[in-house]
Structure 1
Amino acid sequence: MERSDIRQKTDRENQVLGILAKSVRRIIQGYAGGLEGLQEIRLRTGQPVRIVQDNKEEILPSAGSPHIITKEEVRETMDYISHYSLYAYENELRQGFLTIEGGHRVGVAGKVIMEKDKVKNIQYISSVNIRVSHEVIGCADSLLPYITKNKQVCHTLIISPPCCGKTTLIRDLIRQISDGNQYVKGCSVGVVDERSELGGCYLGIAQNHLGSRTDILDCCPKAEGMIMLIRSMAPQVIAVDEIGTSEDIHAVEYAMQCGCKLIASVHGLDMDEAKKKPVLGELIRRRMFERYVVLGNGEHPGEIRGIYDERGSVLCRE
């Protein structure tokens, strides 16, 4: 392992372990399986510590039996995450998650406080889900030749079930399109990162590598963000993850009509399912997207099952 890789691995471990209650930290540090491949750490009051590592869930023991999380351990963890000031993170908490240094995302659950039919805050937090950020540099290498023409990006829709690496794939696409390479001329990319997953911004600065020509709107609704970017940053490409609402789809169409190329993703099993979605199905029937990429469960993030053109003809299949 190269020195830079070792340093990155150490930084990631320190970032994740440093926000845990000390008792939980010791348990995870002493785990015989190590931290390589760690994806999630779940803390639920009154329940055992669970981790997801290499797509496998495990319950961590303490002195031979499962360690049961206490409300004090959840509170201590949240103190570390918020630097002892949960109030200062009220805007982030109302979305149900915080992003910490390194781009790691911390989801929370507890008592929801409402104000004027909108979520104002979450109190009495009882569950914490730490999702460890992983970049896979180069995972989009095999896809780029199929979604570019004459060194320009094609309107591309990525169709994927949950947990199949679509966010990881889009992140690497953004980086390569922004910096440019043999397949695409480097260009300005606008990213609407509604859930802080693509850039993993911490204090406004992206923790993931999204390229030198990329502008990010962090924690911004997708539909509103796409229009804001077009008006203010003049992007040549716009990238968004998990479009779904009719407002999202209409904003995608608006961006296309403004001359921006679109990289977007949607939950789905295949082309047929995507065609059945309201509003989005109409865009597909009108052949607004030039490329469709279908992902599936595989050994590596972003494993491609098929690539199709605007007519639905197969360009590449697993």
Structure 2
Amino acid sequence: MKEIIRLFPDHFQTLLLKDVRWGEIQEIRLRVHKRIETLGADSHKVLNSPLLSPQDLSHILNQISQFSLYRFKDQLKDGFITIEGGHRVGLAGKANTVNDSVETLKYISFMNIRIARSKPGQAERLLPYLYHNQKWTSTLIIGPPHSGKTTILRDLARTISSENQLHPSSKVAIVDERSEIAASLRGIPQLDVGSRTDVMDACPKVQGMMMMIRSMSPEILIVDEIGSIDDAEAIKEATFTGVEVICSVHGKDFRSVLKRPSTKILMEEGIFQRYVILERLLPSRPHTLTILDERGKQLVHFKGEREYGVDRRCNDLVRNDMGRI
């Protein structure tokens, strides 16, 4: 995690090397006049570090922005900056607003460094269900924060663009609005997204999807975190061009996402043929994953991270909540 450690002033770096379990943590929290806090899946630890001064956070912010915070003004509006390695640094302080819209952040006093990890092989168990009748299916991945949505999207891109015994390789395009899927640095992915994958980095999904369809002629389009009606309309338009879309959305379960206006449009019009439901990753319980068909009927339920048991019993309960589908 040298790309994170180098952000800190020298007097913190030895402590971070010695006291942080880099293989386990998910976040590093920084607050002015507080000690450094690290968080795992279901635990947190306050390091025996010096209190962070405003100067310390200013030093870290200068390293993150390479002493040119103005270059990141658009990302500041969203409250985060993505750094080398795909790690995402959330920022909070005083919001500067113009006409009730956030123009920028100033007096930044709080940071949250979210650790990005590439885990090849996470998508393997999905493939027999997402590759159906000799073609890939448009798929919505649903899960709360820290459930592995982005990790699975990244590994699906890598797998779909590589040939194996189950399927031929396909052309994949990623619209990486938050620079988290491919973790591109100066346009070059830092994480493995596959040999036939093209990436549009730091581009809004609505514009980026149409740009990639026109310029790169993908067979599969991958995007992260549907959030607005405009996102939904762009996804619908993309599928009308003959491209399959695999995307993710924050949600607790199938029903909760069906209530959101942006995803309800897509679900009711049958844009997705598969739904992947994830639970928050916690070491205290096995990871579970459920795959549903286009009508919300359970196809398979996985329990456990690697040596998982499989329950293929169908569950028709969710079908009653699908309205006119």
For the superposition of Structure 1 and Structure 2, which TM-score range results when normalised by the shorter chain?
0.7 to 0.9
Equivalent position of 1:51 in the other structure: 38
Deviations 1:59-80 (CA, angstroms, capped at 9, x unpaired): 1014xxxx32111110111222
Equivalent position of 1:308 in the other structure: 292
Deviations 1:9-56 (CA, angstroms, capped at 9, x unpaired): xxxx2111111122222322231x532223211111122211113542
1:89 and 1:249 map into 2 onto residues whose CA distance is: 26
Matched, 1:296 2:283: no
Amino acid at match of 1:34: R
Amino acid at match of 2:39: V
Bigger drift between 203-212 and 78-87 goes to 78-87
1:191 and 1:17 map into 2 onto residues whose CA distance is: 29
Amino acid at match of 2:5: L
Conserved 8 A contact 2:29-2:112: yes
Identity %: 39
Amino acid at match of 2:248: S
1:90 and 1:276 map into 2 onto residues whose CA distance is: 33
Shift of 1:204: 1.8
1:17 and 1:143 map into 2 onto residues whose CA distance is: 35
How has the CA–CA distance of structure 1 residues 80 and 281 changed in structure 2, closer, same or farther, with 3 Å as cutoff? closer
Shift of 1:259: 0.1
Conserved 8 A contact 1:43-1:129: yes
1:205 and 1:120 map into 2 onto residues whose CA distance is: 29
Equivalent position of 2:228 in the other structure: 245
How has the CA–CA distance of structure 1 residues 83 and 249 changed in structure 2, closer, same or farther, with 3 Å as cutoff? closer
Q: Secondary structure at the match of 1:38?
A: coil
Equivalent position of 1:229 in the other structure: 212
Q: How many corresponding residue pairs?
A: 301
Matched, 1:285 2:272: no
How has the CA–CA distance of structure 1 residues 255 and 46 changed in structure 2, closer, same or farther, with 3 Å as cutoff? same
1:114 and 1:231 map into 2 onto residues whose CA distance is: 36
Conserved 8 A contact 2:148-2:281: no
Matched, 1:178 2:161: yes
Q: Secondary structure at the match of 2:51?
A: coil
Equivalent position of 2:196 in the other structure: 213
TM-score by length of 2: 0.85
Matched, 1:61 2:48: yes
How has the CA–CA distance of structure 1 residues 88 and 268 changed in structure 2, closer, same or farther, with 3 Å as cutoff? closer
Match of 2:237 among 250, 254, 259: 254
Matched, 1:100 2:88: no
Shift of 1:231: 1.9
Matched, 1:85 2:68: yes
How has the CA–CA distance of structure 1 residues 165 and 302 changed in structure 2, closer, same or farther, with 3 Å as cutoff? farther
Bigger drift between 83-92 and 169-178 goes to 83-92
Conserved 8 A contact 2:232-2:265: no
How has the CA–CA distance of structure 1 residues 16 and 310 changed in structure 2, closer, same or farther, with 3 Å as cutoff? same
1:279 and 1:125 map into 2 onto residues whose CA distance is: 32
Amino acid at match of 2:27: E
1:41 and 1:195 map into 2 onto residues whose CA distance is: 19
Shift of 1:105: 1.8
2:295 and 2:99 map into 1 onto residues whose CA distance is: 46
1:285 and 1:90 map into 2 onto residues whose CA distance is: 37
**Unpaired runs of 5+ in structure 2?**
303-325
2:23 and 2:193 map into 1 onto residues whose CA distance is: 24
Shift of 1:120: 3.8
Conserved 8 A contact 1:99-1:201: no
Conserved 8 A contact 1:39-1:55: no
**Unpaired runs of 5+ in structure 1?**
1-12
Conserved 8 A contact 2:138-2:274: yes
How has the CA–CA distance of structure 1 residues 121 and 286 changed in structure 2, closer, same or farther, with 3 Å as cutoff? closer
TM-score by length of 1: 0.87
Match of 1:34 among 7, 15, 21: 21
Bigger drift between 113-122 and 176-185 goes to 113-122
1:189 and 1:303 map into 2 onto residues whose CA distance is: 28
How has the CA–CA distance of structure 1 residues 187 and 98 changed in structure 2, closer, same or farther, with 3 Å as cutoff? same
Shift of 1:298: 4.1
Bigger drift between 172-181 and 109-118 goes to 109-118
